[in-house]
Amino acid sequence: MRRVNWVKDHRKIRLLTGILLLITVLAVPFIAPVNHYLSIPNQIVAFDNPSEPISMPALGDNVSLASPDGSMQAIDSTKFYAKETGNNELIYQAAGLPLKKVDVSVLEDIRVVPGGQSIGVQLHTLGVLVVGHHQINSEDGKISPGEDADIQVGDVILEINGEKVKEMEDVKPFVEESGKANEPLAIKLKRDNETIETTLDPIKDEKEEEYRIGLYIRDSAAGIGTMTFYDPETKNYGALGHVISDMDTQKPIEIHNGSIVRSNVTSIEKGNHGTPGEKQAKFSFEDQKIGNITKNSPFGIFGQLNKPISNGKNDKPMPIALSHEVKEGPAKILTVLDGEEVEEFDVKVVSSVPQKVPAKKGMVIQITDDKLLNETGGIVQGMSGSPIIQDGKMIGAVTHVFVNDPTSGYGVHIEWMLEEAGIEVKKEAEQEKAG
């Protein structure tokens, strides 16, 4: 009997001990010193900017913070200056014993000039883009030679008979010569990441008495967007914040080259629930080009300006913030509503996701400016690329509107646009770490 009671008491003690341990584990994160300790990151990235020291959380009066190799100069117990760029360490210690090590990557200070200008964009495709099929009235009935050759919408024709095709005008002489000689065309095309070779037999159109291939093709695309930034030293720029896709195929346009010009906003079609708004603008590529386009990527269009351009608001180089530095709360955007005048408007960063690798849609922003809401309803097409500024730093660009809520949309972090523009942000520190 005593044995049974002892076993029962032992089980109760084990149960109570387990409950107490569970309560302790759950309570630990809420104990202030432990909570402070857990909030300290294992690694931080900062810029070599004398006006902005590196700030670290304090752990208490008895805990000091030091730089073992002297690469960081202390201002006080929680603020430091970096003496040089590269990878450094800070150590939390108490009574000479180390408590926590924090790896610090110090990058060269990067400053870019904010944009906000409305721009006209023209892209010339790599080869010619197939955007549709059509039937030809031949003596054997209606035929589409292109479709019969299994050439698909979205394919890019790179070569005909071994010669490169750069624009639509290059295609017609091949078609006429092949049709008259009654010989097929040797076609090399690109489909996604695959290169394909096929043959195509031109057919004579009975009505027009010309040889046709039954394909609708395009060699360029045009539209408007917003300049995001440019590097004052190299004049490399970034704009739009998202890829330009063909309106018919909905596939990203692979470009041969392109150019940008200034555009004049003439009116705005206001956005509503379920219907995005749009800027209406006029521009001409006969005007003086302000820059070229060398890249059309998921993070925007990129190239080099012919000379520095002004937004009339803030033409001085501005520091940038990395994704982990972006805070929820007030911010500004620069964009054009009328003519070529760049204006500043209030927005709110609703959320921001720290990103270690390039990714789109890193932020959600909401328009809070009454004037902008009254005139546009929120974010409209053509506003893509408008720079987002917070606490005197450029943090990203507007990219997409929420169709069901035009007051809000996505933004991309500026560091990914900078890297696409050839401005290396983290490369130096990463190379030193690898070494």
- Give which of 50, 110, 59 is closest to 83, Cα–Cα: 50
Q: What's the CA angle centered on 326, arms 350 and 352, to 5 degrees?
A: 40
Q: Of 178, 384, 386, 408, which is the active-site residue? A: 384
Whether 142 and 313 have beta carbons less than 8 Å apart is answered as no
Whether 304 and 78 have beta carbons less than 8 Å apart is answered as no
Given strand 277-282, what is the order of strands in its sheet?
264-269, 277-282, 380-381
Q: Of 118, 369, 386, 413, which is the active-site residue? A: 369
Report the distance separating Cα 20 and Cα 22, nearest Å: 5
Indicate the residue type of 194.
Answer: E
Q: Of 71, 118, 219, 242, which is the active-site residue? A: 242
For the residues of 366-428, what is the DSSP string, one character each? EE--HHHHHHHSS-EET-TT-EEEETTEEEEEEEEEETTEEEEEEEEEHHHHHHHTT--SSHH
* Residue 384 bears catalytic tag: yes
Indicate the residue type of 392.
Answer: G
Report the distance separating Cα 272 and Cα 425, nearest Å: 38
Token couple for 258: 């392109």
In the chain, the N- to C-terminal Cα span, in Å, equals: 71
* Residue 369 bears catalytic tag: yes
Q: How far is CA 118 from the centre of its chain?
A: 18
Helices (H) and strands (E) in the chain — how many of each?
Answer: 7, 33
Q: How far is CA 386 from the centre of its chain?
A: 12
* Residue 67 bears catalytic tag: no
Indicate left, alpha or beta for 14 from its phi (over 0: left) and psi (-120 to 50: alpha).
alpha
Whether 226 and 116 have beta carbons less than 8 Å apart is answered as yes
Active-site residue list: 242, 369, 384
